[in-house]
Amino acid sequence: MKQYSAEFFGTFWLVLGGCGSAVLAAGFPELGIGFVGVSLAFGLTVLTMAYAIGHISGCHLNPAVSIGLWMGGRFPANKLLPYIIAQVLGGIIAGGVLYLIASGKAGFDVSAGFASNGYDIHSPGGYSLFSAFITEVVMTMMFLIIILGSTDTRAPQGLAPVAIGLGLTLIHLISIPVTNTSVNPARSLATALYVGDWAMAQLWLFWLAPILGALLGAAIYRYVLSDETTSA
Protein backbone atom coordinates (compact mmCIF):
# COMPACT_ATOMS: atom_id res chain seq x y z
CA MET A 1 0.00 0.00 0.00
CA LYS A 2 2.94 2.38 0.52
CA GLN A 3 3.77 2.11 -3.16
CA TYR A 4 0.19 2.83 -4.23
CA SER A 5 -0.09 5.70 -1.74
CA ALA A 6 3.13 7.17 -3.12
CA GLU A 7 1.74 7.03 -6.65
CA PHE A 8 -1.46 8.68 -5.45
CA PHE A 9 0.31 11.61 -3.80
CA GLY A 10 2.89 11.89 -6.56
CA THR A 11 0.24 12.15 -9.27
CA PHE A 12 -1.72 14.55 -7.07
CA TRP A 13 1.34 16.82 -7.00
CA LEU A 14 1.94 16.51 -10.75
CA VAL A 15 -1.61 17.60 -11.59
CA LEU A 16 -1.82 20.29 -8.92
CA GLY A 17 1.61 21.69 -9.74
CA GLY A 18 1.51 21.36 -13.51
CA CYS A 19 -2.13 22.08 -14.30
CA GLY A 20 -2.32 24.51 -11.40
CA SER A 21 0.45 26.59 -12.92
CA ALA A 22 -1.48 26.71 -16.20
CA VAL A 23 -4.83 27.58 -14.64
CA LEU A 24 -3.71 29.95 -11.88
CA ALA A 25 -0.41 31.48 -12.94
CA ALA A 26 -0.05 31.49 -16.73
CA GLY A 27 -2.66 34.00 -17.82
CA PHE A 28 -1.44 37.34 -16.49
CA PRO A 29 -0.23 39.52 -19.42
CA GLU A 30 2.64 41.12 -17.50
CA LEU A 31 3.45 38.66 -14.74
CA GLY A 32 2.13 35.31 -16.03
CA ILE A 33 4.58 32.45 -16.38
CA GLY A 34 3.42 31.52 -19.91
CA PHE A 35 4.22 28.32 -21.83
CA VAL A 36 7.80 28.22 -20.57
CA GLY A 37 6.74 28.49 -16.95
CA VAL A 38 4.06 25.81 -17.29
CA SER A 39 6.56 23.52 -19.00
CA LEU A 40 9.03 24.02 -16.18
CA ALA A 41 6.30 23.46 -13.58
CA PHE A 42 5.48 20.02 -14.99
CA GLY A 43 9.15 19.12 -15.06
CA LEU A 44 9.62 20.28 -11.48
CA THR A 45 6.73 18.18 -10.22
CA VAL A 46 8.36 15.04 -11.59
CA LEU A 47 11.83 16.08 -10.45
CA THR A 48 10.72 16.78 -6.88
CA MET A 49 8.58 13.65 -6.61
CA ALA A 50 11.31 11.46 -8.08
CA TYR A 51 13.52 12.37 -5.14
CA ALA A 52 10.62 12.23 -2.66
CA ILE A 53 8.98 8.93 -3.63
CA GLY A 54 11.19 7.34 -6.26
CA HIS A 55 12.66 5.01 -3.65
CA ILE A 56 9.14 3.96 -2.61
CA SER A 57 7.19 3.42 -5.84
CA GLY A 58 9.57 4.30 -8.67
CA CYS A 59 7.64 7.58 -9.21
CA HIS A 60 5.67 6.64 -12.33
CA LEU A 61 2.82 9.17 -11.85
CA ASN A 62 1.46 8.16 -15.24
CA PRO A 63 -0.42 5.09 -16.53
CA ALA A 64 1.49 5.25 -19.82
CA VAL A 65 4.81 5.19 -17.96
CA SER A 66 3.73 2.20 -15.86
CA ILE A 67 2.66 0.34 -19.00
CA GLY A 68 5.88 1.33 -20.75
CA LEU A 69 8.02 0.14 -17.84
CA TRP A 70 6.17 -3.17 -17.94
CA MET A 71 6.88 -3.42 -21.66
CA GLY A 72 10.50 -2.55 -20.97
CA GLY A 73 10.83 -5.41 -18.49
CA ARG A 74 11.17 -3.10 -15.49
CA PHE A 75 7.75 -3.51 -13.85
CA PRO A 76 5.58 -6.54 -12.94
CA ALA A 77 2.22 -6.95 -14.65
CA ASN A 78 0.42 -7.70 -11.39
CA LYS A 79 1.04 -4.15 -10.13
CA LEU A 80 -0.15 -2.38 -13.26
CA LEU A 81 -3.83 -2.02 -12.38
CA PRO A 82 -3.30 -0.88 -8.76
CA TYR A 83 -0.72 1.67 -9.91
CA ILE A 84 -3.04 3.03 -12.60
CA ILE A 85 -5.96 3.26 -10.17
CA ALA A 86 -3.80 5.14 -7.65
CA GLN A 87 -2.55 7.52 -10.35
CA VAL A 88 -6.03 8.22 -11.69
CA LEU A 89 -7.45 8.84 -8.22
CA GLY A 90 -4.58 11.14 -7.29
CA GLY A 91 -5.10 13.13 -10.45
CA ILE A 92 -8.86 13.43 -9.97
CA ILE A 93 -8.50 14.63 -6.36
CA ALA A 94 -5.89 17.19 -7.45
CA GLY A 95 -8.24 18.36 -10.20
CA GLY A 96 -10.94 18.83 -7.57
CA VAL A 97 -8.64 20.85 -5.32
CA LEU A 98 -7.61 23.00 -8.28
CA TYR A 99 -11.27 23.52 -9.22
CA LEU A 100 -12.07 24.67 -5.68
CA ILE A 101 -9.22 27.17 -5.79
CA ALA A 102 -9.86 28.46 -9.32
CA SER A 103 -13.62 28.81 -8.83
CA GLY A 104 -12.97 31.36 -6.08
CA LYS A 105 -12.13 33.97 -8.71
CA ALA A 106 -14.94 36.04 -10.22
CA GLY A 107 -15.57 35.14 -13.83
CA PHE A 108 -14.07 31.65 -13.62
CA ASP A 109 -15.44 29.45 -16.40
CA VAL A 110 -14.42 25.79 -16.36
CA SER A 111 -15.71 25.32 -19.91
CA ALA A 112 -12.89 27.57 -21.15
CA GLY A 113 -10.54 24.64 -20.80
CA PHE A 114 -9.21 24.22 -17.25
CA ALA A 115 -5.84 23.11 -18.73
CA SER A 116 -7.53 20.24 -20.57
CA ASN A 117 -5.97 18.57 -23.59
CA GLY A 118 -7.60 18.92 -26.98
CA TYR A 119 -7.31 19.00 -30.75
CA ASP A 120 -8.88 20.97 -33.62
CA ILE A 121 -10.60 24.03 -32.14
CA HIS A 122 -9.58 22.91 -28.64
CA SER A 123 -5.88 22.78 -29.50
CA PRO A 124 -4.10 25.93 -28.24
CA GLY A 125 -2.65 26.40 -31.73
CA GLY A 126 -5.56 24.95 -33.69
CA TYR A 127 -3.78 21.71 -34.64
CA SER A 128 -5.67 18.79 -36.17
CA LEU A 129 -6.49 15.38 -34.72
CA PHE A 130 -3.72 13.86 -36.84
CA SER A 131 -1.13 16.35 -35.59
CA ALA A 132 -2.25 15.78 -32.01
CA PHE A 133 -2.03 12.00 -32.39
CA ILE A 134 1.48 12.07 -33.87
CA THR A 135 2.64 14.56 -31.24
CA GLU A 136 1.38 12.54 -28.29
CA VAL A 137 2.75 9.24 -29.63
CA VAL A 138 6.21 10.64 -30.40
CA MET A 139 6.53 12.72 -27.23
CA THR A 140 5.56 9.77 -25.02
CA MET A 141 7.86 7.47 -26.96
CA MET A 142 10.79 9.79 -26.29
CA PHE A 143 9.77 10.17 -22.65
CA LEU A 144 10.00 6.41 -22.14
CA ILE A 145 13.38 6.27 -23.83
CA ILE A 146 14.58 9.02 -21.47
CA ILE A 147 13.16 7.21 -18.43
CA LEU A 148 14.55 3.81 -19.32
CA GLY A 149 17.91 5.20 -20.40
CA SER A 150 18.49 7.44 -17.41
CA THR A 151 17.59 4.64 -14.97
CA ASP A 152 19.78 2.06 -16.71
CA THR A 153 22.65 0.86 -14.53
CA ARG A 154 25.05 2.09 -17.23
CA ALA A 155 23.82 5.68 -16.81
CA PRO A 156 25.34 8.19 -14.33
CA GLN A 157 23.89 7.32 -10.95
CA GLY A 158 21.67 9.69 -9.02
CA LEU A 159 20.88 11.99 -11.93
CA ALA A 160 17.87 10.18 -13.41
CA PRO A 161 15.32 12.54 -11.77
CA VAL A 162 17.04 15.53 -13.34
CA ALA A 163 17.07 13.98 -16.80
CA ILE A 164 13.44 12.87 -16.52
CA GLY A 165 12.25 16.22 -15.15
CA LEU A 166 14.08 18.20 -17.81
CA GLY A 167 12.87 15.74 -20.45
CA LEU A 168 9.27 16.39 -19.46
CA THR A 169 9.93 20.14 -19.51
CA LEU A 170 11.25 19.90 -23.06
CA ILE A 171 8.27 17.78 -24.12
CA HIS A 172 5.93 20.50 -22.86
CA LEU A 173 7.92 23.23 -24.59
CA ILE A 174 7.43 21.37 -27.87
CA SER A 175 3.84 20.24 -27.55
CA ILE A 176 1.80 22.66 -25.43
CA PRO A 177 0.77 24.57 -28.59
CA VAL A 178 -0.43 21.35 -30.22
CA THR A 179 -2.40 19.51 -27.51
CA ASN A 180 -1.71 21.38 -24.26
CA THR A 181 0.55 18.35 -23.66
CA SER A 182 -0.76 15.16 -22.18
CA VAL A 183 1.74 12.26 -22.45
CA ASN A 184 -0.15 11.16 -19.33
CA PRO A 185 -3.70 9.74 -19.36
CA ALA A 186 -4.20 10.41 -15.63
CA ARG A 187 -3.30 14.08 -16.08
CA SER A 188 -5.74 14.34 -19.01
CA LEU A 189 -8.62 12.74 -17.14
CA ALA A 190 -7.93 14.86 -14.05
CA THR A 191 -8.97 18.06 -15.81
CA ALA A 192 -11.33 16.73 -18.49
CA LEU A 193 -13.59 15.26 -15.83
CA TYR A 194 -14.39 18.72 -14.48
CA VAL A 195 -14.82 20.33 -17.90
CA GLY A 196 -17.01 17.54 -19.28
CA ASP A 197 -18.46 18.21 -22.75
CA TRP A 198 -15.73 18.48 -25.41
CA ALA A 199 -12.88 17.58 -23.04
CA MET A 200 -14.43 14.20 -22.21
CA ALA A 201 -15.36 13.63 -25.87
CA GLN A 202 -11.71 14.08 -26.91
CA LEU A 203 -10.22 12.26 -23.93
CA TRP A 204 -9.92 8.94 -25.81
CA LEU A 205 -6.97 10.32 -27.80
CA PHE A 206 -5.06 11.22 -24.65
CA TRP A 207 -5.31 7.67 -23.38
CA LEU A 208 -4.68 5.89 -26.68
CA ALA A 209 -1.77 7.93 -28.07
CA PRO A 210 0.36 8.09 -24.88
CA ILE A 211 -0.05 4.36 -24.26
CA LEU A 212 0.92 3.56 -27.86
CA GLY A 213 3.88 5.89 -27.58
CA ALA A 214 4.98 4.36 -24.29
CA LEU A 215 4.84 0.84 -25.71
CA LEU A 216 6.83 1.95 -28.75
CA GLY A 217 9.47 3.77 -26.70
CA ALA A 218 9.86 0.86 -24.31
CA ALA A 219 10.20 -1.60 -27.16
CA ILE A 220 12.85 0.56 -28.85
CA TYR A 221 14.87 0.85 -25.66
CA ARG A 222 14.54 -2.79 -24.65
CA TYR A 223 15.24 -4.38 -28.03
CA VAL A 224 17.43 -1.80 -29.76
CA LEU A 225 19.30 0.25 -27.15
CA SER A 226 19.47 -1.88 -24.02
CA ASP A 227 22.22 -4.21 -22.94
CA GLU A 228 20.27 -6.99 -21.24
CA THR A 229 23.23 -7.88 -19.04
CA THR A 230 23.55 -4.46 -17.46
CA SER A 231 20.18 -2.68 -17.63
CA ALA A 232 18.18 -2.27 -14.43
* Number of structural domains the chain divides into: 1
Mean pLDDT of the chain: 93
Number of Cβ within 10 Å of residue 55's Cβ equals 10
Residue 231, pLDDT score: 43
Residue 230, domain member (yes or no): no
**Half-sphere exposure for 105 (CA within 13 Å, toward CB):** 11
Going by C-beta distance under 8 Å and a sequence separation of 6 or more, which residues neighbour residue 84?
A: 63, 66, 186
pLDDT digits (tens, 9 = 90+) for 10-55: 999 999 999 999 999 987 767 778 999 999 999 999 999 999 999 9
Q: Tell me, what CATH number does 166's domain have?
A: 1.20.1080.10
Distance between CA atoms of residues 157 and 174, nearest Å? 27
Between the alpha carbon of residue 9 and those of residues 74, 155, 214, the distances in Å are 22, 28, 22
Residue 232, pLDDT score: 42
Residue 12, domain member (yes or no): yes
Residue 188, domain member (yes or no): yes
Residue 63, domain member (yes or no): yes
pLDDT-based confidence at residue 228 (cuts at 50, 70, 90): low
Average pLDDT over residues 54-79: 95
Average pLDDT over residues 45-73: 95
Residue 190, pLDDT score: 96
Average pLDDT over residues 144-150: 95
Residue 231, domain member (yes or no): no
Residue 25, domain member (yes or no): yes
Per-residue b or e along 182-192, where b marks 16 or more CB atoms closer than 10 Å to that residue's CB: bbbbbbbbbbb
Residue 232, domain member (yes or no): no
One-letter amino acid at 164 equals I
Residue span of the structural domain in which 178 resides? 2-225
> Is 146 in a helix, a strand, or coil?
helix
Distance between CA atoms of residues 76 and 104, nearest Å? 43
Residue 229, pLDDT score: 45
Nearest to 11, CA basis, from 114, 92, 90: 90
Distance between CA atoms of residues 168 and 146, nearest Å? 9
Residue 159, domain member (yes or no): yes
Distance between CA atoms of residues 38 and 19, nearest Å? 8
pLDDT digits (tens, 9 = 90+) for 171-226: 999 999 999 999 999 999 999 999 999 999 999 999 999 999 999 999 999 999 88
